[in-house]
Structure 1
Amino acid sequence: MQLELFGDEPQRRRPPQGNALPPRERFEAAMLYSSIGDALGWPTEFLIPGRSRQPPFQLPLQTFVNWKKRVGGRWWGYEDKVGPGEYSDDTQLTLAVARCINEEGRFEPERFAYEELPLWLQYERGGGRTVKTAARKLVARQAHWLHNFYHQGDLDYREAGANGAAMRNLPIALVNVHDKQALIRDSFYNAIITHGHPRAILGAILFGLAVHCALTLTAPPPPARFIECLLDGLRQVPQVMRGDERLQRWINTWNRGCLDKELDFAQLYHRTLQEAVQYLKHIPAFLSRDPKDYYTFVGALEPATKGSGIATVCVAIYLFLRYLQHPQQGIIVAVNTFGSDTDTIALFLGSLLGAFHGLQVIPPTLMNQVQDHHFLMAIARRLYEIASASTTFAASIEAKSDRRAFYFSILSWEVAFHEMFHQEYQDGNILIHPALGLGTIQSQEAQPLRRDGYVARLIRVQFKCGQTCVFHSRVKGHESPSESLAGEVARALQEREE
């Protein structure tokens, strides 16, 4: 089966086909079960097979538990106490992407890059180095979401191929149930804000296509048919890339800065595509075998590749097809396959199972106990309503965002952020966040650090919208909190004025 990067003839984007939508509960179930998978798999993410030290909860893990996560190193570290059903950065960023989908169903990369991502740094839980580095870089004046080609230490944008983009892509897949090419375009935009390797980009697109296929099925599919549905979507990626002026600009920039002049983006994309196709086409051969065999085949148990954007999505697709009739068993396998990226794979799998089966697939205890249950449902319903209204084709228009407005909204918030971490707020006090709106402080905790004079403060805020966040920072005396963005934003504004 040949999947070329660029075809000979241009293909016009197809308009949405009809008005029929899958039932709303399948949108709700995809959002809920994805977060449940994230919350279940987060405690086991760093368990090592065969390790003698047992975790403080019973294995195999099948329900939500209390646990503690160590954040930071010896002198800068503190404990984050995670309650039953609390989700990680995977779901946090999924919700951030959902807020950046406008009423026409378009993903707004500017809002995600310049407001949501930087502000997320202050309440992230379990965020990876790649996404956090990309978020910090986007605060600078010269940064642009379409050209965030960072290089810091051992992190290189062009080599960033992990699943940090795919894990947040569910809202884009749901809202574009009518339009595969819009799904591909916005998935591409979403990915390149933080990741520059085709492995991350194709992973985000492939996950979006898998959700689309699961959402639109009316009966359990033969594995070969489901895989063909995915391959059909991948065949449309070249037309989307070729027909989008912004993506062409991005590819040109990628090529100009690549140190290996013999390997341009098209070549690397094609090589990565063949990797994805190989993984997908081999799924049927592993369906009757131990799931670890497929994990091993795609490298999902190797420390260097376990977070691959391609491998983790393919594992979730494999588990979806293998456990389609036994979905709860599939989630348990994903959560308890130690040495893999358990929370993200379980998030992918939960999305697919929810999109296909609906709410009936979710155990009631898990559904009711997952963090921000009602907010997750509300987000899914909003995406459903937008999708149900998206019945006409709209040409791609490059939005003109007011970068200064994003900067000033962050600076306005920084006043409250500083006061919050210098103990000028009490439990029950109200604050207003640029992205999350009105919030009430629920609790505050301080932990002395080994670094002289510093204290880690964790402040839990319940927002009126329904989302709960734990803001964190290290502080010393009257110094700025470690997670403050004020200095970087002020410098960026000054440079823009000059």
Structure 2
Amino acid sequence: MTGSLTYIDRVIGAFLGAAAGDALGWPQERREQVRLPGERDPLPGEFAPWTRVAGGRFRPRLEPVNSGEYSDDTQLLLCVARARLSGGARWLDQLRDVELPTWLLYERGGGAAVKRASRSWASGVAPWSNKDSDRYFDAGANGVAMRVAPHALDARTQSRQIALDDAFSDGILTHGHPRALIGARLHVQAVWNLTRLDHSLGYGALIDDLIDDKQWAELPSHSVVPEDWVRNFERRGEDFSVSWNKVTSEAIDLLRLGHAAVRRGAVALMRPVLAEMGCLERATSGSGTVTAAAATFVASRTAADPLTGLRETAYLAGGDTDTLASMTGSLLGAIHGSDWLGHLAKDLQDAKLIRNVAISLGSGNSIESRAIRQVRTPEIRLLQRQLRRSGTGERAILPDGRAGIVKERSVLRSPTGGTAGELVRLMADGQSIAILMPDPERDERQQALFSAEEIEPAARALAIETRISVDNLELARVALERVLGLLPVQRGVQSVQYKGGVVLARKSGVHFPAEERGPIHLRVRVSSLRSAYGAALELGLAPGNITPTANGAFFEVTLVPGVQAEVFESRRLREGV
């Protein structure tokens, strides 16, 4: 391994290596969930078309993925690069207000934390300040580390410290746990070190340098960390610096584990080491620190044989294969450039665009900048409605300002054979964009209620009672108790209450004053009545007026035909709820 490559060669290699690893690893990730039974495996290390089963269990769809197509890892890598190229000194505003909200339109395989945070920014609220901030601060996955390499690859970044600070500022847009943020900084320092090499890289030197020089582990300065962010973090009862130092210790231990394995040389097989690092455990395989340390280990271990490193990570059964392979490929590309990828670099989706973005970033260029404006949810939905009517060859302007051309429309099927929406493929400034359009035969209310991937709770349910209205209370009571074994906790003339919150009630009951009501009644106590009411309005459910009570307030709403809900907020539970 020589230091004869130019800086631009290394930047191109880092981008193409990341994208190739993503495209190879994506079909392997949780493969029992994303590949059809009986579908033939491609040759190891080769791109091939495959079918993705997406949409969750409530709205599954079979989504075709063409050979060499990449997932959210590369999409977000390009988002960050585009933000730096077009936003200049205001790259963070561009990423937060334009790139992330627009990405929601075309994301493929996006992580839950990034999607939640992007939706929060699209609504104009910082995710550390919204109603779901606990989930934000618990998010320690690798959704930051996968996308932050451009901060180290931008020729205009004047120092490694600035690159590390930028990685933190980028990271807190979507993730609040130090595991996500420290993993990102670790990866940025590794990429920075490799792309600035002016000498031969010794065996194991990459991981050695990160253990010896722990700039990545230093607590970010007060000028980088927003005060309100720290305030919200520590509101949960843990000091930010204590939490940060605890996670840095974990990350250092992971690096030392990899370092020991590298020193053992060929004797140390990679899979057992990756297993010890946590790459094969579902609870830890997606951790930011675990993925960053594992990618550093594999790149150090296979620097002399980069294709082996890419294959080992892309086909690591039980691992987070697309992200691990992407981050490993980025490091190997920073070491070797892109020639080692061979035809993979040419067959990759949007290979020309990725190369051009890398050249622009590595040359310190900028692209034509547009005025930074805040992309909001209504604008995203407006484009979706427009695309329903757009034919092949028609033009569509994305919320980020890019001009797209509709290239293809295809009907998606569910695993059971019915229609499950449509996939609209566009080309926008050289990037392939695939936008899912839900089945138009299902109304938007049903889509919102049953989409496991897209639902965001407006308020937390604190208690719930399910009321079933019946004509013959005695007959229904006998059926529930003898057939289902439900245990009554209170019997009355008009109703019977069972353990678990199920209530049988005569239809003449008075708990729901509406004259017409369905046979199933839910009574739900929520954390925020106004948030729940706003969500009902947004879904077009036409809720009744909020009515004050002695203990709080409530409103009634029909969720779906036959299911009526009384939603209330109070200082204490009413009637046992």
TM-score under structure 1 normalisation? 0.80
Give the SS at the match of 1:470.
strand
Report if the CA contact (8 A) 2:186-2:217 is conserved: no
What does residue 385 of structure 1 align with? 363
Helix, strand or coil for the counterpart of 1:459?
strand
Q: Which amino acid aligns with 2:60?
A: G
C-alpha RMSD of the superposition: 3.3
Partner of 2:138: 159
**Would the aligned equivalents of 1:137 and 1:150 in 2 still touch at CA under 8 Å?**
no
Matched, 1:468 2:450: no
1:96 aligned residue (70, 76, 79) = 79
| Aligned counterpart in structure 1 of residue 163 of structure 2, from 161, 169, 183 | 183
Matched, 1:431 2:396: yes
Query: Kindly, what percent of the aligned residue pairs are identical?
Result: 30
Q: Deviations over 1:455-476 (max 9, x none)?
A: 411100011x110010003143
**C-alpha distance in 2, partners of 1:43/1:236?**
32
Is 1:277 equivalent to 2:252 in the alignment? yes
C-alpha displacement of 1:314: 0.9
**Structure-2 residue corresponding to 1:14:** none
Correspondent of 1:267 among 234, 238, 242:
242
Unaligned runs of 5+ in 1: 1-20, 389-400, 492-498
Residue 144 of structure 1 corresponds to which residue in structure 2?
126
Give 1:137's aligned amino acid: S
**Larger strand share, 1 or 2:** 2
Contact persistence 2:21–2:322 (CA under 8 A):
yes
Work out the number of aligned pairs and report it. 440
Deviation of 1:76 after TM superposition, in Å, equals: 1.3
Please give the alpha-carbon distance, in whole angstroms, between the structure 2 residues aligned to 1:165 and 1:253. 20
In the other structure, the counterpart of 1:314 is: 293
- The 8 Å contact of residues 89 and 124 in structure 1, kept in 2 or not, is answered as yes
Report the AA paired with residue 7 of structure 2. P
Q: CA deviation at 1:75?
A: 4.2
Q: Given the superposition, is the C-alpha separation of residues 449 and 44 from structure 1 closer, same or farther in structure 2, using an over 3 Å criterion? A: closer
Cα deviation digits, residues 33-54 of structure 1 (max 9, x gap): 1100000011111137xxxx97
Q: Does 284-293 or 245-254 show the bigger shift? A: 245-254
Letter in 1 for 2:248: L
1:87 is aligned to 70
Instruction: Give the alignment partner of residue 349 of structure 2, picking from 371, 376, 393.
Output: 371
Report what 1:398 is aligned to: none
Matched residue of 2:27: which SS? coil
Partners of 1:236 and 1:88 in 2: CA distance: 27
> 1:28 offset after TM fit, Å?
1.0
Structure 1 416/136 Cα, relative in aligned 2: closer, same or farther at 3 Å? closer
Instruction: Sort the Cα spacing of 1:219 and 1:94 in 2 relative to 1 into closer, same or farther, 3 A.
Output: same
Cross-structure match for 2:202: 222
Residue by residue over 1:322-369, the C-alpha shift from the partner in whole angstroms, topping out at 9 and shown as x without a partner, is: 111111111111111110111111101111111111122221x11111
Q: Pick closer, same or farther for the CA change 1:75–1:278 going to 2, 3 Å.
A: closer
| CA positional deviation for 1:294 | 1.4
The one-letter code sitting in structure 1 at the alignment partner of 2:346 is N
For residues 92-112 of structure 1, give each alpha carbon's deviation from its aligned partner in whole angstroms, at most 9, with x where no partner exists: 111111111146854622322
| C-alpha contact (below 8 Å) 2:16/2:355 kept by paired residues | yes
Label 1:266 to 1:243 Cα distance change in 2 as closer, same or farther (>3 A): closer
Q: Secondary structure of 1:282's partner? A: helix
Alignment correspondent of 2:531: none
The structural deviation recorded for 1:480 is: 5.2
Secondary structure of 1:163's partner?
A: coil
What stretches of structure 2 of length at least 5 have no aligned partner? 449-453, 456-533, 539-577
Counterpart amino acid of residue 174 in structure 1: L
Q: 1:33 aligned to 17, 31, 34, which one?
A: 17
Matching residue within 185, 191, 199 for 1:211: 191
Distance 1:69 1:450 in 2: 11
Rg: which structure is higher?
Answer: 2
Instruction: Choose the corresponding residue for 1:72, options 46, 55, 58.
Output: 55
- Structure 1 window deviating more from structure 2 (293-302 vs 225-234): it is 225-234
Contact 2:207 2:297 in 1 (8 A): no
Q: Which structure has greater helix proportion?
A: 1
Rounded Cα–Cα distance in structure 2 between residues aligned with 1:269 and 1:225: 26
Name 1:235's counterpart in structure 2. 215
Q: Distance in 2 between matches of 1:449 and 1:472?
A: 13
1:445 alignment partner, one of 375, 395, 410: 410
The answer as to whether partners of 2:207 and 2:300 remain within 8 angstroms in 1 is no
Equivalents in 2 of 1:220, 1:385: separation in Å?
Answer: 23
Compared with structure 1, are the counterparts of its residues 455 and 478 closer, same or farther at alpha carbon in structure 2 (3 Å cutoff)?
same
Aligned match of 2:558: none
Contact 1:223 1:284 in 2 (8 A): no
- Measure how far apart 1:219 and its partner are: 3.7
2:387 maps to 1:420: yes
